[in-house]
Amino acid sequence: MGSSVLSNLPCAKEADAAPKLLIIMVGLPARGKSYIVRKLSRYLNWLQYEARVFNVGERRRAEAHVEQSGEKAEESHLSRGQFSSSAAFFDPTNADLVSARDQIALKTLDELLNWLSRQDSSSIGILDATNSTQERRQILLSHIRRKRGTLNEVLFIETCCFDQDILEHNFQLKLNGPDYRGQDPDEALRDFRQRVVFYEKSYVPLGEVEEQDKIPYLQVIDVGRKINTHLIQGYLSSRVVEYMLNFNLSERQIWIFSGGESIDDSAGRIGRRSDLTENGQRYAASLVRFIHGERERWEKKRQSHRTQNRDSTRFSVDDPTRKQDALHPQRHKNWSCPLDFCIWTSTMPQTTQTALGFCEKLFTKLQMKTLDDLNAGDMAGLTFEEIATSQPAVYTARKQHKLLYRWPGLGGECYVDLISRLRPVILELERRKDHVLLVTHRAVVRVLLSYFLDLRRDDLAEMVIPKNWGFCLKPTPYGIDFSAYSYRPESGTFCLEPGAQNKFFPS
């Protein structure tokens, strides 16, 4: 990747070498480490860094599986595979087991370090494990100092949770996790609680020792209620902290739509400001109806939740439907009053005209230059056929390097430029607790979706988004709920498209 292309990501390149970051997670079980790790690596990959997660628990399970299938299972009431998932395996007073667990952690760290040293671009390796004792962290740090020659690249991220409701909810989620799948829920929960008790015995939160050793850290308490940072200085760790500061689990909807058909669209011309056609105006009217309907559905759901919760806000094992909701207390914080609904358009007529029908009293409308179409530079106003004919070199270069090829001419952009431009929009979407409808352009929709759907670099360039489709993203405790809707001009409606993601990549 040439430096001229990444140039709009300020200081992707720091000093001579591409900077690396080695994130070590810290925290008791069920504190949301893996959730954070997934989200963070998704964001960093979207920013076009290489981020990879190395999970110690997965290695523990994989090794146990190998031993088991190699028929080395111990003489015990549990097979070796089961044993490594049971609470007893985490007994901190059993020196053999502590050492076995250290070995697994070091092997995983080695895998990470090998990967990190192979990367020639900026990259981030994330060690996902509890690392909740001083001893374990010291072992890891000496290993890193030996292998990398420095601790400058290390960033600890600790998640703590003092909110009993969140914790109880996380415990429940664990029962569906790989260690307990298929087991009796009551017994599994008992076993998992025992595992947590073992961890708590030897748990030391980040603090004085790391401060003496001058190791940067980030502490996230109760899903971002409090955030503590120590010695955050590097470019990559600043990006990480900035992202983690904009973090909430409130249930809400993020709608992403293109503007309706413009005059330029109908002629296949790209990149210019252009008014809606009659088709585009019909689409706009349908969108207003559709979003109004969806907003009403949400409001009804909210009101019925409130009524239910007046009777019982506590977790109840007997009622699975209520359980689902009671499980996640953070979500309920957003159910107490109607949510605001923001509409963000670009500054171009094809999107502002599409949003014209939304009433300013009900929706908070905002134009953002940040959401403008990918700037096609000198090619703006041409069709792809015209570009292919009149500028075959440009056409070919663009086709071959869609992600990195900047359209020639004043202001011309490539997809990576667009990512950099949209970073504040993503941070703002992560921060907000109300509904947002973005009405923007297909290139922008593509880049936003690639963030939410965790697409790889090549997928971003190759993805084909059907015309007049819109998308809804709902943050959930386990990730993101994604739905796609296609516009039906004959009825003026938007219809749910199940399995939409498969249609983005026609072979």
| Size of interface with a copy of itself, in residues (CB under 8 A) | 53
Number of H helices, E strands in the chain: 20, 13
Using rule CB under 8 A, residue 440 touches a copy of itself: no
Using rule CB under 8 A, residue 380 touches a copy of itself: yes
Cα–Cα distance measured from residue 462 to residue 403, given in angstroms and rounded to the nearest whole number: 9
Q: In this chain, which stretch among 237-245, 277-285, 387-395, 471-479 interacts with a copy of itself, using CB under 8 A?
A: 237-245
- In whole angstroms, the minimum distance from the beta carbon of 280 to a copy of itself comes to 19
Among 35, 171, 203, 235, binds a copy of itself (CB under 8 A): 235
Cα–Cα distance measured from residue 137 to residue 370, given in angstroms and rounded to the nearest whole number: 42
In eight-state DSSP terms, residue 370 is G
The residue type found at 26 is V
Spatial neighbors of 129 by CB under 8 A, at least 6 apart, are 25, 33, 55, 56, 57, 105, 108
Using rule CB under 8 A, residue 10 touches a copy of itself: yes
Distance of CA 114 to the CA centre of its chain: 25
47 within 8 A of 243, measured Cβ to Cβ:
no
Q: Map the footprint of a copy of itself across residues 336-365, applying CB under 8 A.
A: 340, 342, 344, 347, 364
Among 59, 147, 230, 503, binds a copy of itself (CB under 8 A): 230
State the sign of the Cα–Cα–Cα–Cα dihedral 262, 402, 438, 298. positive
Using rule CB under 8 A, residue 420 touches a copy of itself: yes
Q: Number of C-alpha atoms within 13 angstroms, CB side, residue 46? A: 27
Catalytic residue among 169, 305, 435, 441: 441
Cα–Cα distance measured from residue 314 to residue 453, given in angstroms and rounded to the nearest whole number: 33
In sequence order, the β-bridge partners of residue 155 are: 23
Cβ nearer to a copy of itself, comparing 225 with 399: 225
Binding mask 250-279 for a copy of itself (x = CB under 8 A): ---------------------xxx------
Q: Is 128 a catalytic residue?
A: yes
Backbone dihedral angles phi then psi of residue 270, each to the nearest 5 degrees? -105, 150
**3-state secondary structure at position 17:** coil
- In whole angstroms, the minimum distance from the beta carbon of 224 to a copy of itself comes to 8
Q: Is 372 a catalytic residue?
A: no
Q: In this chain, which stretch among 288-296, 366-374, 446-454, 486-494 interacts with a copy of itself, using CB under 8 A?
A: 366-374
Q: Write out the residues near a copy of itself by the rule CB under 8 A.
A: 3-4, 7-8, 10-11, 13-16, 211, 225-233, 235, 238, 241-242, 245-246, 248, 271-273, 340, 342, 344, 347, 364, 366-370, 372, 375, 380, 410-411, 413, 417, 420, 424-425, 428, 431, 433
Which residues have a catalytic role annotated? 128, 161, 441
